[in-house]
Amino acid sequence: MRLFRTAVSALGGLLLAVSLPAVTASASSGEFHWRGPGGKPYFITNPPDNKCLALEQEARQAENQTKGVAVVYADKGCKGAEHRLGHGQKAPAKFLFKSVRFGGH
């Protein structure tokens, strides 16, 4: 039950910056993890490729466990300082990010 609540919270904390169709043509398989307010863990599974996803709340400690590349950005709209994360890589612990884009396999 806790895993379900965490997944629901993760989806609730993530705002898509663009509208997504009901079926996404391509997605980065795997999970993307981060920490939100109070250090609470969040994740998204199989995020869509080539879409800028904006977070509505504090986000830090990004960890890319997808098979593709994730780029986290300091500002919304996938702008500002960025960190490119390959599979298994983590952003610097103190880097706060407001958006992320997944780049495929």
Tens-digit pLDDT profile for residues 12-60:
555 433 333 444 457 789 999 999 999 999 999 999 999 999 999 989 9
More confident residue, 27 or 82: 82
Q: In this structure, which long-range contacts are made by residues 47-51, counting pairs with CB atoms below 8 Å and at least 24 apart in sequence? A: 47/100, 47/102, 48/20, 48/24, 48/102, 49/24, 49/102, 49/103, 49/104, 50/26, 50/101, 50/102, 50/103, 50/104, 51/16, 51/17, 51/18, 51/20, 51/101, 51/102
**What is the average pLDDT score of the chain?**
83
How much is the pLDDT for 13?
Answer: 56
CATH number at residue 39: 2.60.20.10
Residue 9 reports pLDDT greater than 70: no
Total domains present in the chain: 1
How much is the pLDDT for 27?
Answer: 79
Domain range for 40: 2-102
More confident residue, 4 or 41: 41
Residue 10 reports pLDDT greater than 60: no
Mean pLDDT, residues 75-103 taken together: 96
**Predicted TM-score of the model (pTM):** 0.75
